[in-house]
Amino acid sequence: RGPITHPGYECPVGRQYGKHSIWEPDARESSAAAAECPALACATCSGLRLTVASAAAGCFRMAVLSRPDIVSWSVTKLGHWDVRSPEQIFGRYALPASGALLDVGSNLGWFSWLFAQGGRRVYAVEAFPTNQRAYRTTLCLNPAWNGSVTLAATAVGGPDAAGPCVVSGSAGDNAGNGVLRCGRAEGCEAARAGGLACEPATLTTLDSLLEGWGDPRFAVVKMDVEGAECDVLKGGQRLFSRSPPRFLYAELKQPHVEACWREAALRHGYRAATPWRGKERHFV
């Protein structure tokens, strides 16, 4: 198959990996990217590497993790993670013509990039410094998005949450799945002894971020914070008191998250738009 093109980037022809196509840059492109974005010049220093992502709107260069990580593997081997366009998330429901994305727990930024490709304003929140470096490096690789994407490099919690906090990667093939722990007794020693990346993290509330951003109007709020969704909602009531988003999208695999998410949706006048999807119970 010949190259697929879209404005600004040409998709490489993938080589086969079983029944899948691997979207890998060649050595020349890797060197050029490292010259543009220094975090890619030393994989052992930054923990990042370059790949080429294939979304429905076209291909783009993306920084992924060098450690075993399911999102990085999927983007490298399959070209994408989970979905290839925002429309795949919402099924028969059309996105509003305007409005930004709020991406809470952005990980490596896959959902941010899908919306940025479509010209949407993006506000992202990510606690894990390893993922923050990958996110900023992808922005470096795609400078056309710089003016439309804002990253808050912090954890968010409830109004009574208190630090200090650390965030560590997960074991197995999920290195980018940051786990936040807060409290004076928390530290990184145990995580690092187990070979996991672990770094200090700042903590605030979503309300504080929204106020600082000037209460943007959101078309979509996506939230995936590994069980902390209830606390984030408690500290993020400005979402609903100012200009409520059209869609809420969350991972409901944990029963307490599903309970508080459904309660909040009912209280603020939302209804289920799509059935839950996949083992992670993604729900709109």
pLDDT confidence of residue 197: 84
Torsion angle of the four alpha carbons 205, 206, 212, 216, in this order, in degrees rounded to the nearest 10: -170
**How many beta carbons lie within 10 A of that of residue 189, not counting itself?**
10
pLDDT confidence of residue 181: 87
- Nearest CA among 212, 211, 175, 181 for reference residue 194: 175
Angstrom distance (rounded) from CA 159 to CA 149:
26
Residue the block writes with tokens 């930054």: 46
- Mean pLDDT in order along the chain per 10 residues (284 residues): 42 49 63 81 76 88 91 89 89 89 96 95 95 94 94 94 86 85 83 88 94 96 89 93 89 86 89 63 68
Q: pTM to 2 decimals?
A: 0.88
- Nearest CA among 87, 95, 133, 93 for reference residue 114: 87
pLDDT confidence of residue 58: 87
Angstrom distance (rounded) from CA 61 to CA 113:
10
pLDDT confidence of residue 25: 66
pLDDT confidence of residue 70: 92
Angstrom distance (rounded) from CA 76 to CA 206:
32
What single letter denotes the amino acid at residue 142?
N
pLDDT confidence of residue 261: 87
What count of residues does the chain have? 284
Angstrom distance (rounded) from CA 31 to CA 9:
17
pLDDT confidence of residue 5: 40
DSSP assignments along 74-104, one per residue: HHHHHSSBSBSSHHHHHTTSPPPSS-EEEEE
